[in-house]
Amino acid sequence: MFTKNNLAHSILLSIPLLVLCLSGIFLIPQQADFIREVCNFTLLTAFFYALCFLISSVKLKAIISWIIGFILSFLLLIKLNFYHIYQVKLSASALFVIFETNAQETSEFLEVYISSTFLFLAGIFILYLLGYAYTLFKRKMIFQLDLKPSLRIIIKMGLLGLAVVSAYLIHWKFSEFNILYTTKTSYADYKATKKLIKKTLAQPSSPYLKEVKKNANAPKIGVVIIGESTNRNHMSLYGYYRNTNPLLAKQIELWISKDVITPHVHTVTALNKILTLNSFENKRKKENASIIQLANQAGYKTFWLSNQRPVGINESVPTLIGNAANEKKFLNTDNYNRKSYDEVLLPAFNEALQDSATYKMIFFASFGDTFGV
């Protein structure tokens, strides 16, 4: 049964796993994570190829076998590059951010994080896939079960059992390390979360804010600036040696908070807590409300002025939260090749200041890339 063709095919299909074992030692910082990644990838490889080898047609088996090799190589490249960049596994929260992103943010991310390590691994996988295609389609070295009908049935039942056991173990033990499984469950959770946000946070008012009143001495104009791209390490207010905040430094009533930690490293997930009653300790999903709804119910006229594209792969969470405002302006809706700088917000800001409403709350939404770099 184990012919020269079967041996060659078995060696080639195991190369992505070999790459993980050799490179993961250096790229995956935690030994426990490394072992789990190897176990998960072994089971995933066994699952795919066990189903593939059940196919009788030699041509179809060769095509599907190469597609499996491509899928495994692609998933492994993403996984190893994520470990190289962030030193952690690709998690559900990171996938939430990817679901929110748009074309320009993706290109900016790739410009920053296409490293020599990524290119080296990509080169290995390209060479592997070319060699795999040559072996399968030119040399026709494909795994075949040249057995008696009775033995062939037993082997196929064994392959089917291997596929079932592999799928079960992935689900039971290694689901958080499996990109396909994590992506599927995360996207379902993401869509459910977005649906809930549309029903709650995207509405002008919230039933979860009770007896909201405006203090008699409340300021008539409030301005909230959300600027993700600004780094405190380059601000003189926080000790930077260059005078980068001369106008703010002249303000007498200025409270500078120097001990604030964001609940997440990614912008989208952080804003979902910063702008709402949701917090790291108290994770509200249903009974949630936003600062915009609070201002609305306190009698302020609210303005959401955004230089962030409102839609990426999906409508973003900050966009949905901003939809609760009385007036909304998204000033960066052109094609993705256009650069839009934050000064485009100033005319809209002046218009909001001149609005006839006595009490106004103006939100500047000017975030950088959704990947949170």
Question: CA-CA distance, 312 to 316, in Å (whole number)?
Answer: 7
Give 209 or 279, the one with higher predicted confidence. Answer: 209
Q: What is the pTM of this model?
A: 0.75
Q: What is the mean pLDDT of residues 330-346?
A: 72
Q: What is the mean pLDDT of residues 55-67?
A: 93
Residue length of the chain:
373
Evaluate whether 254 touches 170 at the Cβ level (below 8 Å). Answer: no
Amino acid, single-letter form, for residue 231? N
Q: What is the mean pLDDT of residues 280-308?
A: 88
Measured N-to-C along each axis, helices 15-27 and 4-13 cross at an angle, to the nearest 10 degrees, of 30
Give 367 or 53, the one with higher predicted confidence. Answer: 53
pLDDT at 70 over 60: yes
Residue range 167-195, pLDDT digits in tens: 999 999 999 999 999 999 988 888 888 88
Of the candidates 264, 72, 270, 94, which has an alpha carbon nearest to the alpha carbon of residue 182?
A: 94
Q: Which helix (H) or strand (E) holds 223?
A: strand 221-227
Helical H segments across 53-178, by residue range: 58-86, 92-100, 103-113, 116-133, 149-173
Evaluate whether 321 touches 290 at the Cβ level (below 8 Å). Answer: yes
Q: Place 128 in a pLDDT band, splitting at 50, 70 and 90.
A: very high
Q: Place 331 in a pLDDT band, splitting at 50, 70 and 90.
A: confident
Question: CA-CA distance, 80 to 13, in Å (whole number)?
Answer: 18
Side-chain-facing half-sphere of 196: CA atoms under 13 Å: 13
Q: What is the mean pLDDT of residues 357-366?
A: 90
Q: Place 367 in a pLDDT band, splitting at 50, 70 and 90.
A: low
